[in-house]
Amino acid sequence: MTLNPILSWWVMGPLAAAILLGLGWVLFRSRQQGGPSGDGGFRGWLFRGGLVLLLLLAACRPGFPGGTVEAAATDLNVFFVVDTSSSIAAEDHVPAGGPAAGAQAAGVPRLGGVREDIRAIARELGGARYSLISFDSSAAVRMPLTTDTSALETAVAVLGPEVTDYSQGSSVTAAWAVLAERLAAARESDPDRPRLVFYFGDGEQTSAAAPQALGIDGSLVSGGAVLGYGTRDGGRMKENSGDPTRPAATYIQDPATGAAAVSRLDEDRLRDLARQLAVPYLHRAAGDAAAPMLQQATPGTLVRTGVALDGRTELYWAPAFAAFLLALRETLLVSGQLRELRELRAAQPVRPAPEGPAPSDGPEPGA
C-alpha cells in the first residue's frame, strides 16, 4: 500500500502530529477527570477521535499500485454552468419516449441527470481544466479551473438545489456576469486554450424580471452546448430543508392551488440561450449517451503523449465514508440533545410574580 497525500508531506506531517497530540491530550484529560462515560464523556471523545483519524487517513490517500495508464491531455478550459434552483429537483428525468403527452413523468430528479452528464463529459475530455458555476437567485463559483477530477467529483456530488424556504425566484441568465468574468480571466491567462461552456438547466424563469441579454464577447466561447432536462408536462419537486439529517419528504406546494407545484421544461428559452452562446441545444433524457453532447461542441483534440504512467487503485473513499458515518452519528446526537433541551425548557413551570408592594427605587418625596 502507498500513500499519496493531498498536501505535501512537510505540511501533512506537522499537521497530523499536532492533531494527534491534541487529540491524545483531550482523551487523557477526559479519562482523568472522570465524569460520564457515555456519549457526553470519554466514549464520546473516542468516537470524535476516530472521526479525526479517519479524515487524516483519507487525506493521506492510501492505495495499491498496479498497472499502467497512458498519459493524455486535452488542451481545454471547460466551464459547467448548473441551474440549482428548486426546479432542478423536479422528478421528471426519464428515458426518451417516456410517458404519453399530458401525463406527468415519474422519474429521478433532473439534478441526477445533470450529475451523470458532467461526469460523462469529464471522462471524455480527460486532461482538461474544469470549473463549476451554479446559480439560483444568484451565481457562485463552486470550483475554479482545475485539472483535479477528484475535486470535480466532490463538487458535483455535493451539488444540491437551493433551500426551499430561501427561494426568491431565479433567472435563467443569473450566471452570465460570473461566467463572463471567469471566461475573460481564462483567456487572459492562456489565450490559446479553447473555452467550452456547458449549460445545464430546464429553462424555467421564476424571477419577476425578464432574463438579461448574454453580454458575453462571442470570442470568449469556443464551443460547448446548452443541455435541457425535464419534460414539457413537468414533474413535482421535493422540498430542500437544508438539514442533511432531515430527508425531503414533502413536495413544494403551489400557493395558488394548494396542490403540489409542477416545474415544466421550457425548450424555447433554452434554445434562445444556445443561440446567444452560439452553441447547440440538446435535450437530455435518462440513459442518453455522452457522444451527442460533444459531437457539435468543438471539444478539441485529445493528445496522447506516449508516456506510460504507473496506475493506482485509490482507497481514500473507504475512510472518508466511515468518517461520514461518524459525522452523521454526531449530528444526530446533537440534534437529539437540542430537542431534549427545548422539551425541558417547555416543561419548566412559569414562576408567579411575588406578591406585595412593588420595591421602591428611593426615598419618598419630602422624606
Domain check: are 20 and 145 in the same one? no
- Are 80 and 63 found together in one domain? no
Residue 124 lies in a domain: yes
Segment 54-76 shows an average pLDDT of 72
Judged against a pLDDT cut of 80, whether residue 309 lies above it is answered with no
Do 294 and 319 share a domain, yes or no? no
The answer to whether residue 191 is domain-embedded is yes
Alpha carbon distance 297, 223 (integer Å) = 5
CA–CA distance, 135 with 177 (Å, rounded to integer): 11
User: For residue 360, is it within any domain?
Assistant: no
Q: How confident is the model at residue 353 (pLDDT cuts 50, 70, 90)?
A: low
pLDDT at 36: 55
Which candidate, 67, 69, 186, 161, places its Cα nearest to that of 111? 161
Element housing 349 (H / E): none
Q: How far is CA 243 from the centre of its chain?
A: 14
Among candidate residues 174, 324, 160, the one with its CA nearest the CA of residue 240 = 160
pLDDT at site 306: 47
Task: Note the pLDDT tens digit of each residue in 230-282.
Answer: 999 999 998 887 776 666 668 888 877 888 889 999 999 999 999 999 999 99
- The answer to whether residue 145 sits within a structural domain is yes
Give 157's pLDDT tier (boundaries 50, 70, 90): very high
Query: Do 80 and 42 share a structural domain?
Result: no
Per the structure, the complete domain to which residue 328 belongs is given by 2-67+313-334
Smallest Cα–Cα separation from 265: which of 87, 11, 128? 87
Give the single-character DSSP code of 246.
Answer: S
What does the alpha-carbon distance between residue 159 and residue 134 come to, in Å, rounded to a whole number? 9
Judged by DSSP in three states, 266 sits in coil
Which whole-number Å values give the CA distances from 222 to 139, 153, 154, 282, in the listed order?
22, 24, 27, 17
How many Å apart are CA 175 and CA 348, to the nearest integer?
Answer: 51
8 Å CB contact between 238 and 200: no
Residue 104 lies in a domain: yes
Same domain, 141 and 288: yes
Alpha-carbon gap, residue 33 to 38, rounded angstroms: 14
- Residue 131 inside a domain? The answer is yes
- CA–CA distance, 82 with 202 (Å, rounded to integer): 10
pTM of the model: 0.62
Alpha helices of the chain — where are they, by DSSP H? 9-33, 42-59, 110-124, 149-157, 176-189, 267-277, 291-295, 317-347
Cell 466551464, located at residue: 79
> Residue 93 CB: number of other CB atoms within 10 A?
26
Task: Kindly list the strands in the beta sheet with 129-135, ordered across the sheet, starting from the edge strand earlier in the chain.
Answer: 139-146, 129-135, 77-83, 195-201, 223-228, 281-283
- pLDDT tens per residue across span 71-113: 445 678 999 999 999 999 999 999 876 654 444 556 889 999 9
One domain for residues 230 and 328: no
Specify the pairing of strand 77-83 against strand 129-135. Answer: parallel
Q: Is residue 123 part of a domain?
A: yes
Residues in the chain: 367
Other Cβ atoms within 10 Å of 25 Cβ, number: 10
- Split into its structural domains, the chain has a count of 2
Shared domain check, 180 and 81? yes
Together in a domain, 247 and 106: yes
The answer to whether residue 357 sits within a structural domain is no
Which domain CATH number covers 154? 3.40.50.410
Give the amino acid at 45: W
The end-to-end CA distance of the chain, in Å, is 91
- Taking alpha carbons only, the member of 341, 338, 319 closest to residue 330 is 338
Q: What is the pLDDT of residue 273?
A: 93
Q: Of the candidates 177, 144, 174, which has an alpha carbon nearest to the alpha carbon of residue 162?
A: 174
φ and ψ at residue 304, rounded to 5 degrees: -80, 125
